[in-house]
Structure 1
Amino acid sequence: MLTTSPVLVGRDEELALVEAGLRAARQGAGSAVFLLGDAGIGKSRLASECAFRAVASGLAVLRGRSSATGAAMPFRPIAEALLSLFRVGGPPQDPELAPYRSALGGLVPEWRGATPPDGSTSLVETAEAVLRLLAAVSREPSSRQEQGCLLVIEDLHDADAETLSVIEYLVDNLAGLPVFLLVTLRPGAGPGDDLVRAAGRRRSAVLAELRPLTPDQVRLVAESCLGAGAGQLPQPVTDKLVQDSEGNPFVVEELLSGMVAANVLRGGADGWRVNGDLTIDVPATVVHSVAQRVGRLSPVGRELLHSAAVLGRRFALPVLKLVTGLDDRSLLVHLRAGIDAQLISPSGPVADWYEFRHALTTEALLADLLPGERAAIAARAADAVEQAYPGLPGDWCQQVAVLRLAAGDTRGAALLFAQAGQAALRDGAVTSAVSLLEHAHTLMAEAGPSEDAGSVLERLIYTLVETGRLDRALRLAETLPLTGPGALDDARAAALHTRLAWGAVSALRHEEAAARVALVRGLLGRFDSSSITPALDVVEANLVLTGIGEPGGLLGGSAGGSPGDSQGGGAGAGVGVGAGREAGGDRTSQAELLARRAADDAERAGLPEVACQALQFLALLERRHGFDRADACLERLLALATEHGLTTWRLDALLRLGANEFMRNGTSEQLARAHRAAVELGAIVLGHTAEATMASQAVFRGEYATARALTDRCAGATARLRHVDNHQYVLLTRAALAAHQGRRREMEQELAEFYRWDGNRSLKMPLVFGHCRAMCSLLEEDRVQALVELDNARAWEDENPTVFYFNGRYGLGPLLQVLTRRTTEAEHELVLADPGTGLLWNRQFERLAYAVHQGRAGRGEAAMRAVAQAREASAPFLMARHLGLRLVAEAALADGWGDPVPWLRTAEEYFHGAGVPAVASACRDLLRRAGATVPQRRSGSDRVPPELRRQGLTAREYEVLLLLGPRLGNQEIAGRLYISPRTVEKHVASLLTKTGQAHRAALCDYAARFGSVDSDPSGAG
């Protein structure tokens, strides 16, 4: 089994450094590099890679290593390096080395004389002899041409003083020699470290300190060791390796080897799978290293380190004093011994905090304790921490939980983990909160039935719902005992199932929500339900709105889900509910009544979270009265959430305010900030909501690559999480992405997937008609079908609550209706009365519709003012801006107003470049009808600058214009372009007309702005 990575990972910078040294040596320029790093960080691996590359490029390689075992032998690594090369072929016979053989006799056995030389050889002489020997080795034996050599010395921290002197001499005198010196060592106090630091300061050598691998690099190392493909390593294995190795590749390999040897990581035909508990024994190599250093300490020093290890990787000196009972002086003496042994070190800038230098050092020390010893120390330590830090603030709660567990107090540990989980949730660390509470629940199950077990499970279910893990919450709810220890009373059970119902509503699982509501109804009357009914009101109001409940027959509800609504509704709950729509209007009014009652009752009862739910829903309903009122609800929600520390609700409010901001003015800055906050806090569902909403907004802005990237990023996650609301919205956004580019087949594929996710039962159906299919039909120049789709959207909204504002009713629909003479100016005034008409996306089309009414009535100036207003509103919406110009230009041509030709040129240029041929062709047809020149779109036309394309210049005319810049005559231009002078004259006349220049001289000046072509005419276009 391969447990060593065959590839070097994460050392690109260091490899570039050594490669530069090898290259310089081949060119006769000597240099030195010191690789510093902790044990196992990869120094030897880099040295081996360097040696391999040196051999491959023809350099001679000498390699030696210092040793920490036994007595230090003078020059050991130097002698080993020389012998590594000379063992087979013998030492070089270069005559220039003759004077130095005596000095080298102690290093090269073949050069030792029968009689030792008189006197002793100085270190400088020996160092110079080594330098001359390296120079000789670097020369090709036959041609005596320099080929270079590499000297590698490893573990310089264990080197003898003589070797250090030679290395120092070499470093200072390599310049001009074809020798590359590579030295490895561990950092820390000592003569070796002093030497390399001094060399670095003198700039005689380069110091490269190896950093720990990143999590991604750890994964790559593990995959390489196992021969696994990218992404095939189970994520729990990666997490374990990242956590325990702290980026040390040697430890990664050791841990991985232990997992495979213990058969907890098993490979097969279908890849690698976890087969048991990933917690394995500390690698023996690490244990041995730590044991050696600990064994050199006094018994009291060893006891202190064992106590510190039980406290954890990082420990506070006051607590350690309480655990050990040592006085200040003794404590510091033994602490210093641990520091000198390189086992512990000060921890950051905070006084009295220390830490073990490596996580596995802690585990190695713990492995040296008997279970009873460890439990006794853990119990003393837990008592000491609780005494020193009453209430266990900050991280102390979790640390004491670990100690209680080590002491054998499983139930006490579980309660502390649950307490830490609740604190994490209050701080907004939702992922950590779930993890801590899950751990507490598991420990409680091991401890056996108790009242505490029910409370921990109850808290876990609440937290799972809050963090979007509804399926897990529902499964755990079924395990709650109905009687006996841990059973909830009626009030707590009703509150919990009401919360689950809210979670189901948020995920658009309305049948599940209705089932939970029915369960709660069965409990009402057995207790004072004043604290329950506001929350139930919010849930049931949502059921009324969606048609699950009957108006007046339920207590109330909320539209949960995502706040985003760049399309007037958002990912499910971006609901902008319209008024006066028969059945839909009745349900909307009833839902609003119930939600308002819930908000008021919740605030009076001191239920801030329920008040937030109700205010969220009211904000959606208030849109039909205007976005100022909607934002007022959201601001109140934000204030409540901030006041009571409800992080998720605060993010929800920010996301919804960001969605409203886009609908008002087309900007997304606030939404982007809210998204970053959601990601940082681990709010999974809200993070996906924000991404889906940002993707939808990117579609509106015509930023299709951004929209695709965002939907690709969150589509898989929303599907896996089974968050139907978000996933439906992602699928619709992808359908709109295709529709807004005129790609019908792709649009229909995405819509088919949307239907597979029960999309035809959602309030998003108007998006299918008005936002996707109608827009796609317009880009196919099928105006009749576009109107059919808009009528379908309107018919659906007449029977259901109107939940989206960008489906044509307030913008695109009125424009198409006036173009087809299906509406009057008086009827248009009714459209203006609805707040939805003022939203920027709708306003651009509504203003164009108004312009058509005005132009048709002969009020040209009013029509042009409306067009200017439309173009201002359309600034954020790239595709829609040009589509509007194409549509209004046709009416302007027919009714004789405005400036349709430049509008059509601009639109034609955009749709030609965007690959929407039907609209581009329609623009050209209208230009012909207007008697304007039409772009030929011949080869080379794309090189014509946009400004000139808008003026109607062809590719050939652009070529002529460029040659006018240097003021060439017609004859000369004709010769360059291989056309007749008469043709040039015609092109010049056309250019004067199209550019509006008064005469040829002015045209030449104008041409100079665009450069010139003074070579082959093939480059002119």
Structure 2
Amino acid sequence: MGPTLVGRSEELAALLDACHGGPGRLVLVTGCAGSGKTTLLEELTRRVTDAGAVVGSGHAVPGGGPFRPVAEALVRVAPPALADEGALSPFRAVLARILPTWPPALAAGTHLVDPVVVLGEAVLALLRVLSTDRRTVFVLDDAQWADRDTLALLEYLAGGLREVAATVVIAARDDQAVPDALTALHRHARIRTVALRPLPPADVALLVRRTVGGELPPEAEEYVARVSEGVPLLVTELAAGLLESGSLVPDGNGWRTTSTLTGGLPPSHLALVHNRVAGLAPRARELVRTAAVLGPELDADLLTTVLGSDAAEVADGLSSAVDAGLLTRNAAGDVRWRHALTCGAVLAGLTPPERGAIAARAAEALEDELGVRRALVADLHARGGRPARAAALLLEEARDAVAAGALATAQEILERSLVLAVGDPGLVVAITVERIQAFALATRTDEAIAAADVALPTATGADRTALAIAASRACVGGQRFDEAGRYLTLFGDPDDPRVQALAAHIALDAEDLDQALALATRAAAAAEQVGPPDVLCEALEVVGRALRRRDPKASVAAFERAEQVAAGHGLTPWRIRALAELGATELYGAAPAGRLAEAQTLALDAGMLGTATALDLQAVAMTVGTEGMVGVMSRAERCADRAGRLGLTGLQAHALMFAARGRVHAGRAGQADLLLDEVDRLVPSPLYRSERSHNRSTDAWLDGDDERAARELDDCIALLRELPAAPPAPVWGEWVVLRTVCDPTDDGPRAELRESDVLVQAVNRAALAYADAVAAAHVQQVDPGLLLAEGDRLLAPHPFLRHWLRIMLVPRAVDGRLGDAPALLREAHAWLLAHGENRMARLCAAHLRRLGLPVPRPGRYGEMVPPRLRALGVTGRELEVLRLVAEGLGNIEIAGRLQLSRRTVETHVSNLLLKTGTRSREGLTGLAP
């Protein structure tokens, strides 16, 4: 059985208090080796489990891999079925990377966000689900051995746990070199530290009595208390040492001493362990020594493989070690080291050649069973005299760490592997390339460049080009395009399609579209013949982006080919990128719908939460036309919140911009200004500054002041003219329509738009058609009907934008040459009310009153009235009457069905005949939906 808890009542009470209600928190338990941290955690686990909490436990071990203790704890409380929980859908793939029993996730791509932050959000979401109806407690031991990414994850959780009914308790030694990340936990304002101090004499005496099973003479108790300095492990080891050395012998119901205990120090813990090992039978001794070489995590199956023994023989050897006090067995029957210090003491008793020989034999035995033990096998090879093999295995381990999002851990592994790989130039280059890529993923551009600069001078041929490409990509990620191009020019093979595709991307970012298109076309042609497929995808993406405004159809074709190649080769990140580009072209009217939603699904399936957030923002922009600005406002706010939590300030700013527009449409312009203040703080950019003018213009227009609205848009467009790379936003079309309505004789805005590449945007093309219709109606020489029909055709998928721009025409539509203004206003009024655009609906009502027409009362008709009938002014009640007329019911029957008077029904039928221009009830029958 394991040791029982003696003393520590205050510490246990503090931990129980943290686990029994209130906001979530993280508690750090510290103490020297042997201070009883593990025993305290075991007692805590028993208590909170008995109290009904959900409890997950894990522990770190040297070389255990990224997120080991957290994953171990999660596996205990998060069965695979939990992956179907709706609240976890955005995080399912992220969690699946550390939960091997969950459905596997697609391969992730470039991280837009620190992967530790993404995993932190995922774990917090899981804790919310687990803590729905009871407390959740995670207990993580031996954090001093945890990798840097695990410690960074715990630090992130500390800030978010206050929103979750969960407690995380971690224990770590404080008597050795403490990792910087663990020091950060000590200093964190949201983390409570519980330090284990030496036991007082009374507790030492109690622990001694429990160890030996009876009372000790006072001099023996005083001796143990003095020499152990109150460290529980040393207390029990000293007491056991007194028994083993014969210094204590039974004396009736107690013990007596046989020698003076004050004449010197007792045998050290190291000597005690050495004696116990020496007393074992040869096979048991070999087992214990081999286990010590394998590390502090004791695994019977692993020992069976390494020793070439059968399970029964290993079980017997473990039992002998338990009897000798080297190992301990818990209530579940699992065997472990009595303490990590015991394992270290056994290892210290071996000579370096002995340790090397055991490590070499173990590595050889485990070569065919690498699995999750690759890091251990690499360590054994390193200690057993095969450094190159160790380096190759560590390189694979580092790649897995990158895939898991553990970038800091990956760098530590790569640094070690680089030292071991000295003497194998090819392996050194492969490791250096991986280091550069890992630095780039962590946006540590300077370190990536430094690593490349060390290796490039001596590299040749393909190795030199691989290093140049890695260095160049790191520079691109850091927005250092001149340096990126320099690496390719000085060290890259100009005929290599990888170099050409990357150079094309650099040219595109520099807005040299001709150069980008030329390089990408060459790279695509070469990659089509010889590959690799990811290079073809990259080249096609550049082609598509370079042609987006010049030749939309060719641009779509390039993106579609990239998506096809990526799908065929399982290149999920490149497929997402292609689908996202195709989604963007939907607004331009050049690509079929649905691609953006497909990209979002893939991004979530791959756990690319940053990418999914960016795509969600893109979806917000695309659904304005179908839902209205008020309709997308809450979605934009959620997107801004998620982007902020993930540290994506650019996305956060853009999402807040949409939220601000929604505030203006909802009649809360003051709140919109506050949101734009936050945007300026996040990303001070002329693009976002133009939004203030745009919002002021919208506010003025919704108040019916077209002239002031046009002046504000002039300021907005003046800023956008200075940003040729800005997206072709619909504000250009809005400006042209409003300026033409204010002065149909001024052809300047229309001429500017006609020559601009922002016409790639379908909304801007529709706006130009409407503006041309206004000018044509003014001179009364050209029928504007065809122009209006063209604008309506382009905006058919975007009813909000169609109503928005058509309502702008109403001041010029009084003579009927710009369409049936009353019908247009009634249709728009109904749609806007049904979609919460009440302020814009009030503008429609004001126009109807100016035309001397009645304004439909809110609620008289709604979204259920088909647009063609809404345009005629048919109300919801009239639609109900129309449907019953179509069923063949008479007025008396309709009155009874709808609980109306006969005269009211007759009035509704008369209105229907008048509004629809129908002469008989039979004619109405054909109009019913």
Matches of 1:808 and 1:663, distance apart in 2: 14
User: Could you tell me how far 1:807 is from its partner in structure 2?
Assistant: 3.1
**Aligned partner of 1:400 among 366, 369, 377:** 377
Question: Residues 801 and 601 of structure 1: is their aligned pair in 2 closer, same or farther, counting only changes over 3 Å?
Answer: farther
TM-score (norm 1): 0.52
- Measured against aligned partners, the alpha-carbon deviations of 1:940-969 in whole angstroms (never above 9, x if no partner) come to x669867799759899xx9xx999954569
TM-score (norm 2): 0.57
Q: Aligned partner of 1:236: which letter? A: L
Q: Aligned partner of 1:461: which letter? A: I
Report the identity percentage. Answer: 21
Question: Residues 816 and 459 of structure 1: is their aligned pair in 2 closer, same or farther, counting only changes over 3 Å?
Answer: same
Q: Aligned partner of 1:477: which letter? A: I
**Aligned partner of 1:893 among 814, 818, 822:** 814
Q: Aligned partner of 1:900: which letter? A: A
Matches of 1:697 and 1:314, distance apart in 2: 56
**Aligned partner of 2:638 among 700, 704, 709:** 709
Partner of 2:16: 5
Question: Residues 794 and 444 of structure 1: is their aligned pair in 2 closer, same or farther, counting only changes over 3 Å?
Answer: same
Partner of 1:927: 848
Any conservation in 2 of the 1:5–1:221 contact (CA below 8 Å)? no
Any conservation in 2 of the 1:678–1:687 contact (CA below 8 Å)? yes
**Aligned partner of 2:411 among 423, 438, 442:** 438
Partner of 1:323: 306
Partner of 1:1009: none
Q: Aligned partner of 1:537: which letter? A: A
Describe the SS at the equivalent of 1:873: coil
The answer to whether 1:517 aligns with 2:485 is: yes
Any conservation in 2 of the 1:671–1:694 contact (CA below 8 Å)? yes
Any conservation in 1 of the 2:537–2:565 contact (CA below 8 Å)? yes
- 1:330-345 equivalences in 2 (<5 Å): none
User: Could you tell me how far 1:707 is from its partner in structure 2?
Assistant: 1.7
Partner of 2:450: 478
Any conservation in 2 of the 1:430–1:683 contact (CA below 8 Å)? no
User: Could you tell me how far 1:630 is from its partner in structure 2?
Assistant: 1.5
Matches of 2:298 and 2:604, distance apart in 1: 28
Describe the SS at the equivalent of 1:256: strand
Give the structure, 1 or 2, with the largest relative contact order (CA under 8 Å, sep 6 or more). 2
Question: Residues 516 and 864 of structure 1: is their aligned pair in 2 closer, same or farther, counting only changes over 3 Å?
Answer: closer
- 1:700-779 equivalences in 2 (<5 Å): 700=625, 701-702=627-628, 703-719=632-648, 726=651, 729-730=654-655, 732-738=657-663, 741=666, 744-751=669-676, 760=685, 768=691, 775=698, 778-779=701-702
- Measured against aligned partners, the alpha-carbon deviations of 1:37-82 in whole angstroms (never above 9, x if no partner) come to x9879665465689xxxxxxxxxxxxxxxxxxxxxxxxxxxxxxxx
Partner of 2:121: none
- 1:251-262 equivalences in 2 (<5 Å): 255-256=170-171
Partner of 1:807: 730
Matches of 1:240 and 1:268, distance apart in 2: 10
Matches of 1:421 and 1:483, distance apart in 2: 19
Any conservation in 2 of the 1:9–1:221 contact (CA below 8 Å)? no
Question: Residues 305 and 667 of structure 1: is their aligned pair in 2 closer, same or farther, counting only changes over 3 Å?
Answer: farther
Matches of 1:416 and 1:612, distance apart in 2: 30
Any conservation in 1 of the 2:600–2:612 contact (CA below 8 Å)? yes
Matches of 1:709 and 1:668, distance apart in 2: 24
User: Could you tell me how far 1:838 is from its partner in structure 2?
Assistant: 7.6
- Measured against aligned partners, the alpha-carbon deviations of 1:246-274 in whole angstroms (never above 9, x if no partner) come to xxxxx998743867999967766944389
Matches of 1:464 and 1:832, distance apart in 2: 46
Partner of 1:653: 578
Matches of 2:529 and 2:372, distance apart in 1: 35
- Measured against aligned partners, the alpha-carbon deviations of 1:192-242 in whole angstroms (never above 9, x if no partner) come to xxxxxxxxxxxxxxxxxxxxx9656699767999xxxxxxxx972764999
Question: Residues 420 and 9 of structure 1: is their aligned pair in 2 closer, same or farther, counting only changes over 3 Å?
Answer: same
User: Could you tell me how far 1:642 is from its partner in structure 2?
Assistant: 5.4
Q: Aligned partner of 2:412: which letter? A: H
Any conservation in 2 of the 1:3–1:253 contact (CA below 8 Å)? no
Q: Aligned partner of 1:705: which letter? A: S
User: Could you tell me how far 1:4 is from its partner in structure 2?
Assistant: 2.4
Partner of 1:383: 364
Partner of 1:421: 398
Matches of 2:15 and 2:193, distance apart in 1: 20
User: Could you tell me how far 1:326 is from its partner in structure 2?
Assistant: 2.0
Matches of 2:709 and 2:173, distance apart in 1: 65
Any conservation in 2 of the 1:935–1:952 contact (CA below 8 Å)? no
The answer to whether 1:873 aligns with 2:792 is: no
- Measured against aligned partners, the alpha-carbon deviations of 1:357-397 in whole angstroms (never above 9, x if no partner) come to 799999799578535668765443321122x35xx6x6564
Matches of 2:593 and 2:348, distance apart in 1: 58
Describe the SS at the equivalent of 2:16: coil
- Measured against aligned partners, the alpha-carbon deviations of 1:807-831 in whole angstroms (never above 9, x if no partner) come to 344x545544553454799998998
Matches of 1:794 and 1:241, distance apart in 2: 42
Matches of 2:505 and 2:484, distance apart in 1: 10
- Measured against aligned partners, the alpha-carbon deviations of 1:307-338 in whole angstroms (never above 9, x if no partner) come to 68949979796x75541122588579989999
Any conservation in 1 of the 2:829–2:841 contact (CA below 8 Å)? yes
**Aligned partner of 2:552 among 627, 632, 637:** 627
Matches of 1:815 and 1:399, distance apart in 2: 69
Question: Residues 923 and 728 of structure 1: is their aligned pair in 2 closer, same or farther, counting only changes over 3 Å?
Answer: closer
**Aligned partner of 1:462 among 430, 433, 437:** 437
- Measured against aligned partners, the alpha-carbon deviations of 1:476-498 in whole angstroms (never above 9, x if no partner) come to 433566489x9656986676455
- 1:784-799 equivalences in 2 (<5 Å): 784-788=707-711
Question: Residues 312 and 601 of structure 1: is their aligned pair in 2 closer, same or farther, counting only changes over 3 Å?
Answer: farther
User: Could you tell me how far 1:780 is from its partner in structure 2?
Assistant: 4.6
Any conservation in 1 of the 2:795–2:802 contact (CA below 8 Å)? yes
Question: Residues 755 and 988 of structure 1: is their aligned pair in 2 closer, same or farther, counting only changes over 3 Å?
Answer: same
Matches of 1:666 and 1:780, distance apart in 2: 36
Partner of 2:32: none
Tell which deviates more after alignment, 747-756 or 706-715: 747-756
Matches of 1:403 and 1:695, distance apart in 2: 53
Question: Residues 327 and 224 of structure 1: is their aligned pair in 2 closer, same or farther, counting only changes over 3 Å?
Answer: closer
Any conservation in 2 of the 1:840–1:874 contact (CA below 8 Å)? no
Q: Aligned partner of 2:634: which letter? A: A
Partner of 1:179: none
Question: Residues 464 and 815 of structure 1: is their aligned pair in 2 closer, same or farther, counting only changes over 3 Å?
Answer: same
Matches of 1:830 and 1:474, distance apart in 2: 44
User: Could you tell me how far 1:513 is from its partner in structure 2?
Assistant: 2.0
Matches of 1:643 and 1:954, distance apart in 2: 51
Tell which deviates more after alignment, 215-224 or 815-824: 215-224
User: Could you tell me how far 1:748 is from its partner in structure 2?
Assistant: 4.7
Matches of 1:954 and 1:782, distance apart in 2: 32
- Rg bigger for which structure? 1
Matches of 1:359 and 1:819, distance apart in 2: 83
- 1:200-349 equivalences in 2 (<5 Å): 236=151, 239=154, 255-256=170-171, 270-272=189-191, 310=294, 321-326=304-309
Q: Which runs of 5+ in 1 are unaligned?
A: 12-37, 51-212, 226-233, 243-250, 277-282, 346-354, 546-586, 970-984, 1007-1021
Describe the SS at the equivalent of 2:191: strand
Q: Aligned partner of 1:712: which letter? A: D
The number of residue pairs the alignment matches comes to 687
Matches of 1:401 and 1:501, distance apart in 2: 31
Any conservation in 2 of the 1:418–1:456 contact (CA below 8 Å)? yes
Q: Aligned partner of 2:816: which letter? A: D
User: Could you tell me how far 1:620 is from its partner in structure 2?
Assistant: 1.0
Partner of 1:28: none
Partner of 1:980: none
Matches of 1:750 and 1:881, distance apart in 2: 27
- Measured against aligned partners, the alpha-carbon deviations of 1:418-475 in whole angstroms (never above 9, x if no partner) come to 22334676xxx3625x35531323425777987666653432112443x3x32x1323
**Aligned partner of 1:904 among 809, 822, 825:** 825
Question: Residues 300 and 667 of structure 1: is their aligned pair in 2 closer, same or farther, counting only changes over 3 Å?
Answer: farther
Q: Aligned partner of 2:395: which letter? A: A
Partner of 1:534: 500
User: Could you tell me how far 1:611 is from its partner in structure 2?
Assistant: 4.5
- Measured against aligned partners, the alpha-carbon deviations of 1:117-147 in whole angstroms (never above 9, x if no partner) come to xxxxxxxxxxxxxxxxxxxxxxxxxxxxxxx
